[in-house]
Structure formats: C-alpha cells, structure tokens
Structure 1
C-alpha cells in the first residue's frame, strides 16, 4: 500500500493523506477517481489497464506499478497489484547503506556543514526523496544517493530521471556505489568504493573512492604529444584535455563537494558524454579551453585533492597511474596579440530585465524572433569573444562570470518564449544562434 498515487490520464499525483488529494482546485476529486476505479473493477478491467500507478518509491526508481483503490475502516488505501512492487516499499535498508549515511553526515559536520537523511523535498505536485542531503556553502545542496544492492534494468532506467529532477530543483546529485557495473554508467555522476562490510564503513579509517574522480591533463597536440588526437587526425595543433583516474578520500569528497572545491562536469569524448567529478580549478581551466582551444589554459594554483592522514585505511588504495610530463617548451602556442577590450556588458541588469514579466515582445521582421532574444544572444556572444581575447588570469575569471551571466539570461528568455508560444525550445535556440552568428559575419 502507498499514500502517493500517479494518475496517468490526469497526469497528477494524488496524496491520499489529504482530504482534497492535494488538489483544492479540483472539487470532489476523490469521489470521481474512486468511483471510476470501482466501475472498472465491476467491468472486470485488469488493474494494469486502469489509470492508477504507484507515485512513491516505484515511480522514483522508474517502475510502473499498477494500483487500485479501496476503503478500509474509513481509511483510503491504494493497493499494489503485484507483491514485488509492495515489497519494494518495505525492503529493509542494509547495514552498509546505513553506515554510509552516518559517515556522510559525520564527514559533513566535521567540515562545518549540516545534513539529514531520508529527506523528502516538495517539488510542485510531487517530491524528491534523497538518501542524504548535505547543505553546503553558498546555498549549495548535495544529494547523496547510495546504491549498493542489485536493481533490475527498469530501475536503472530511472536513475537519469531522478538525477535530472534533483538537478532541476537545485540539488546536485551524487550517486555512490560499490558495484563496478554501475560506476561505469554515464547516466549521472557515479563514484565507487570497494565492497566493504558495515563496521569497516562506519569506522574513522580512510575510506577511498576508487572510481568517479578525475584530474585533467592539458596538453598541446603536436608531434611530441603522448596522447592521440581526439579528432582522429595526425596532429591538429590545438590544445586538448585528457581525464585521468585518481583516488580521493570519501570524507574529503563529501566536504569538498559541499564547499564547491570538487564539482561535477560533463566531458565529451567523441559521441559519448562522460560524467566525472573534478576540482573547481580543473573545471575553470576546461572552460578556458572550450572558449579558445588554440592555446593551453593558464596554470592555476590548487590545493592537493587529498593528503596524508593519521587514520588507518579501510581498504587498499588503488595505485595512481604513472604519467610522463611533456617538455615545458611545448606547453603553449605563441600567444596572439591582445585586441583592445570592448566595453563590458552589464549582464546583471540585462538578466534582471529578462526575468521581469511582460506581455508583449517586439519581433524581428525577418526571423520572427523577439528582438529581446536577439539582443541577449548578441550580448552573450560578445562576452564570449572578449573572453577569448584576454590573457590575464584575473581578467579571464571576471570576464568568464560576465559570459556565464549573459548566457544564463539568454537561456531564461528562450525558455520563457518557447513555453509561451508552445514551440520546441531546442529549435528556437538553434534558430536564434544561427540568425545572430550568421548576421555577425
């Protein structure tokens, strides 16, 4: 039995613990849904062909679990059709799972951060269930999901949806496992440690993450490079980044993700998008590389990912791979002459104006797109161009933030326009970029 029911036709979540099913705008909703379900029952319609499904644990893991309604002692109940779906709600949490939750909370508290386990976050008409939620610095929220037991393929298909739903609502998903098959998936940012018993996980020894964290090696694609060109040519002469596996302590991972010193990235290799955790320094250098791949991004000072510890290890650390450094004389291309910077774009005011409600937008006669979208896209492209022309490390950091603010303003405006006009957002964004960048040539 469950208290949350998903109605397929109405596409709403019904909360049986509330008199109005959490939909006050729909009067007599319970009577309508309950009588319809009972009518289907009298006609002999199978439960799997009706309109009700489990909206709790089963839906969270991506499983469609049919349900039917009943009244028992004056209490509303939703009953699963299959026993295995019912058991999914009552399956006991393993000792290893509990030990990980306790360790995450302890590590967060030692770093000065708050957290809690089994947190349900309200999102519109539904919820987000998080194993352990850590409240980090600057409003950062890290949602740790520990997956140790085997789950069927239908459950694994729901991982991407759960991670996307958490990220959309301001929670950075962090999935941890001890199974190599799960850690190799690219549906979210997985980390993996060795398979350990609960008493080893719970103690204060050094628990290592052996998969999921990377350091980025930046190199110049010439005849002296150690790596093959990712574009499949002999040597392209550009700068590239190669991710290398590196162990990190689990407690450090918890604290540094909350502090923003370790961040998630999406790294494209050919047609595959990999999801790794890296330091914020490597993330910024990768942004520099994407903005201008004709030269290597500048070196930055960064604290070591992990250091010596007085604690005894809980597992055998995986040896770090041996790398050969290229010659310093080959680390950069000749720098281009710096062009005089154009006046900086005031994206704060632009973004603020983009978020203000409005009822009418002036449209461009040739493209049909609002002039506001064209102006915002031109501002973002100009900010990106200025970033490519800067060489000073401090100036690039400032200009990168200007570019990100301008790009965020464009995304907000495009989303609002596409939703208002009921258009495909991707097509609107592609048409806008083609229009602005083609006219700028």
Structure 2
C-alpha cells in the first residue's frame, strides 16, 4: 500500500510516515484527514498514482481512487494506513427485492412467535436505523440487517457500533461469503434464494455464522483428527465448529429459528480471539450454554476496542511512495475478502493439560497421612484392600481410591460437584 495520499483541497501530497505528514505549517492536518468519510468530503483524499498518472490498479479493479486513513497495528506497531474507498453502489432491482423480502420474513416470523417486530425502526436519536428490530420478552433487542448489496467494512463497523450504543445487538444476514459483514460483526450467511423463495415457507438454513463448542482430548482413538498436525497430539483442544462438523453432528440452524432464539437469548453473539494472536478474532452466534462453558474455561470475552484506541503511532520516516498497492497483502480496511478462521474450526485453543479452572473439586497437594493400623481399619470400613485406600481429592478423607471400583472423591464431595456447589 502507498504510504501517502494527495489532498485535493490543499493540492498537496501527504507522507503518512512522517510525524508532521510533511507539512509542519498545517498542524491540524492529521485530524482533518482521519475524520470519518461520513463527516467530510468523500473526494478529499486521492490515490497518489491516480493523481499523477490518471489511473491506478484499484480503479481498474472497480474501486474508486478516493482514500480514507485508519490506524492499523501489525506486530505490535501501529501505523497510519490509506485504503481505497469502494465505488458507491446502487442496489439493483433484484437486490432490493431480496432485501424487502428478507425484512418481511424476519418480521413475520417474529410476530408469529409473539415477539415484537419493527421494520425500518429508528433509535431515539432519529438517525440510527435498523432494517428489522426484534424485541424478546426479556427486553432483549436484536437489530437485523438484511444485506444483499455490497457494503464497505467501515460502514458495517460504524452501523454496528451505533446499534450497540442504543442497546441493540446487531445481526447481519447476507447471501455472500465475500460480504464485508463476514467476521466484522455478528453475522449469518444463507443461500442465495430469490425474493419469492425468501417469502415462501421454504426453510432457509444458516450456512455460516452459527457454531458450536467442541472439546476433546486428542488421542489416537479420537474420532476427530488433530487440527494442528492431522494425526494426534495427546493435548486438549477447544474450538468452535459448524453444526455438520460437530461430533456428533448438530442439527443446522434455520433463519426462522435464529430470529426467535436470538431474541430469547438462547443464541448469543461471541467474539473469540485466536490463541496465538489475540488481535485476530472470529465472530459468530452460539448457543448460550456453549458460551457459558467457554467462559468457564477462558473467562468472558473482551469488548471490541473503540475506534482510534490502538497503540501510539510509529512513524518510520520513509520516502513518499506514489505507487498504488491495491490488491497486495496490505492493510486495506475496505478489503471485502472475509477474514475466515480455520476451514473446520474457529477460535481453536490447545492445552497440554486441562485448564485449572475446569476443576470444580480443587486439586490437593496432600497425601493420606495415616498409620498402618488406621489404613487397615479404613480398608475394613470401605470394603477394599489396604493398598487401595487413598485421599479424597476434595477433602482428603480416606476413600477407596485405587484399583477396581476406585473413586476420585468421597460421596459428599461428588455430590457438591453434581449440584454445582
């Protein structure tokens, strides 16, 4: 990606790698160029190559030559980066018809199940709009967005933040795995049905965006091969899988079911970071029970960072590069390629041992400190051999610990675990 842009109002070239952007006489320049595109002229910043040569790679690929500036952090260092804005897209009649049909279907399903549904609902500020606002009995509000036309990643983030600020959980539904909504907000992908099929009673299965928690010990006898080496590793794996890839398989979730389950809190949104790169996250809808199991192991997920909360910006002081880098592996914030997780599982976490917090009965460091006569007396009471007597893992009392029919803890401690004490 080019490290500079052209300012069309001041007729100047801006170097994003310099602390003063190459213009010490304009102290307010940084604030001006980082203003969101919704609050400034869209054509304020231009690709340098396009300005100099009249064309650039992005324009040839169907994007606009206009740019936006954002922070991006890579390898612990934060830089200012420029990204091409997408060409403004007017929905086609077909896209508009699908959009209207999906809104009608969501509202119809919600009302049929006793939920409140408002089409084109607006928040108290009069500006924040939701395609369909579904409200459950407990007051949980789900803001459905039926997205059939192309949309920029920044628009998805901005509208999702606005919904969350008004107590609305956003839920984007799309028919494309290349939509910018994928992995950037709570989302669900369905098949590309026509508007008549969407309005019909035909089942609409959620193909992606809904996952289930899978936990297993990676042994040669395991039904699932190791997600890291394709064989087995004798470690513990935790990950989120599509219903068809769960063991045993889970039934698929249909859109109609998700309308009701999300409003009732049976399905909830999750933001799962990668184990080795916490800055890379996957977003999904999951059963609330699976969410709770995940939190028992790893704790609740952190909230998304607000815009502009990356670390201090690093200025590398490089020469201005006018070349258009569109299409390379860059930091383009409007790149519509979805940031997928693993092909089978997402949010994979692997451990050598079971995480300590999963042990409801705490591990004890004591042994059974008894005399030989006491051990023999305990064996007679427990109906076992003397060598089979050992300490309860919960309270340390003598139990039939080893050998045939041995137990890990006494009846009282097992009862406490069973009721969640």
**TM-score using structure 1 length:** 0.45
Instruction: State TM-score, norm by structure 2.
Output: 0.47
Higher Rg of the two aligned structures: 2
Structure with the larger helix share:
1
| Structure possessing the higher relative contact order (Cα contacts under 8 Å, 6 or more residues apart) | 2
